[in-house]
Amino acid sequence: MTDSKRITLAWTGASGAPYGLRLLESLLAADYTVYLLISSAARVVLATEHQLQLPANPEAAQKLLVDHFQCDAQQLVVCGKEDWFSPVASGSAAPKRMVVCPCSAGSVASIAHGMSDNLIERAADVVIKEKGQLVLVVRETPFSAIHLENMLTLAKRGVTIMPAAPGFYHQPTSIEDLVDFMVARVLDHLGIEQGLVPRWGYDQRS
């Protein structure tokens, strides 16, 4: 398996579970092997916004998601919060790309300060130290000065801060259109081919 077909995806407890689900679906459809990390708060948000009750046990969550997305069981690896032996925990084995989507203000703070206190924070820390690509789809409003300073700290270290702020110029007619706008922008940044929304200047709706 080449590294170009492996990626780490973390879901944290910010509003925006549909973004995380759609991104996972798109990565699996693009034949990626996804290491999925799910915070406890993310499970609460998922249950609130999507009625998806994910078990806390990583193996059980993995089975449920493999069934949900009908993907190859090898393609999705759900890692536990303290699974320090997971490939994502070490620079010698971790995928070079990671997305936190949705990303809470709390996780932004922990990542900005290198806390590495759970596997999401550690995996992000590894991607930063290995000079890989880290994308944070941050969701909070308004942003406080603390949030903004933490995001600036990360942006100065090469992290892509991509607020969950869909545009309207593709003339969305559904929530799914808005979700796809954000997911498409993330995939574009990762360099992964996507056909979720028309590309500006090519396939405009009239």
Ligand X SMILES: Cc1cc2nc3c(=O)[nH]c(=O)nc-3n(C[C@H](O)[C@H](O)[C@H](O)COP(=O)(O)O)c2cc1C
Instruction: Tell me whether residue 40 is annotated as binding.
Output: no
Min dist CB 202 to ligand X, Å, is 33
At 195, which amino acid appears?
G
Question: Between residues 22 and 139, which has the closer beta carbon with respect to ligand X?
Answer: 139
Question: Between residues 33 and 181, which has the closer beta carbon with respect to ligand X?
Answer: 181
Using the rule CB under 6 A, is 122 a contact of ligand X? no
Specify the stretch interacting with ligand X by CB under 6 A; choose among 37-45, 58-66, 166-174, 180-188. Answer: 37-45
Using the rule CB under 6 A, is 80 a contact of ligand X? no
Using the rule CB under 6 A, is 175 a contact of ligand X? no
Q: Are 7 and 32 within 8 A, CB to CB?
A: yes
Q: Are 132 and 96 within 8 A, CB to CB?
A: yes
Single out the residue of 41, 52, 64, 66 in contact with ligand X (rule: CB under 6 A): 41
Instruction: Tell me whether residue 144 is annotated as binding.
Output: no
CB under 8 Å to 108, separation ≥6 — which residues?
Answer: 136, 138, 147, 150, 151, 154
Paired tokens of 93: 């084995």
Specify the stretch interacting with ligand X by CB under 6 A; choose among 9-17, 54-62, 76-84, 168-176. Answer: 9-17
**What's the CA gap between 124 and 47, in Å, rounded?**
25
Paired tokens of 100: 């936190």
Q: Are 105 and 138 within 8 A, CB to CB?
A: yes
**What's the CA gap between 163 and 16, in Å, rounded?**
11
Single out the residue of 12, 26, 62, 86 in contact with ligand X (rule: CB under 6 A): 12
CB under 8 Å to 196, separation ≥6 — which residues?
Answer: 26, 180, 181, 183, 184, 187
Question: Between residues 10 and 184, which has the closer beta carbon with respect to ligand X?
Answer: 10
Min dist CB 137 to ligand X, Å, is 11
Question: Between residues 104 and 150, which has the closer beta carbon with respect to ligand X?
Answer: 104
Using the rule CB under 6 A, is 42 a contact of ligand X? yes
Compute the CA torsion angle 170, 134, 3, 94 (nearest 10 deg): -150
- Specify binding-site residues for FMN: 13-15, 39, 104-107, 139
- Specify binding-site residues: 13-15, 39, 104-107, 139, 169, 185
**Contact residues for ligand X, defined by CB under 6 A:** 12-15, 39, 41-42, 44-45, 48, 104-107, 139-140
